[in-house]
Amino acid sequence: MGALIKVADTAELKPGECKVVEAAGKILALFNVGGTFYVLDNTCLHRGGPLGEGELEGTIVTCPWHGWRWDVATGANTNNPAVKVARFPVKVDGGSVFVET
């Protein structure tokens, strides 16, 4: 098990929002889907676009650079589920969001 690192307060991210965070030197994308938090690597596998700056609709984030779509719950690409962005375990405790690195 990796270290748990605080990346945000739950109040910072309303449902349907995403943002870029850092943990243990990694740049990550944090998503709030209806009160459930997910963390993916921030880099789109297509051309390196910032997923944390994309549009979130349900569990699907669209990369702002070229429109590739990813399921934030699984990390899978919506067109080819065999292609996945790295996902990181999340824990919410006392109003804080932690990611396991």
85 falls within a domain: yes
For residue 1, pLDDT beyond 80? no
Question: What is the per-residue pLDDT for 34?
Answer: 97
- pLDDT for 11-67, tens place per residue? 999 999 999 999 999 999 999 999 999 999 999 999 899 999 999 999 999 999 999
Q: How confident is the model at residue 101 (pLDDT cuts 50, 70, 90)?
A: confident
| CATH number reported for the structural domain that contains residue 75 in this entry | 2.102.10.10
20 falls within a domain: yes
| Range(s) of the domain holding residue 33 | 13-92
> HEC string of the chain?
CCCEEEEEEHHHCCCCCEEEEEECCEEEEEEEECCEEEEEECECCCCCCEHHHCEEECCEEECCCCCCEEECCCCEECCCCCCECCEECEEEECCEEEEEC
22 falls within a domain: yes
- pTM score: 0.94
Q: How many domains does the chain have?
A: 1
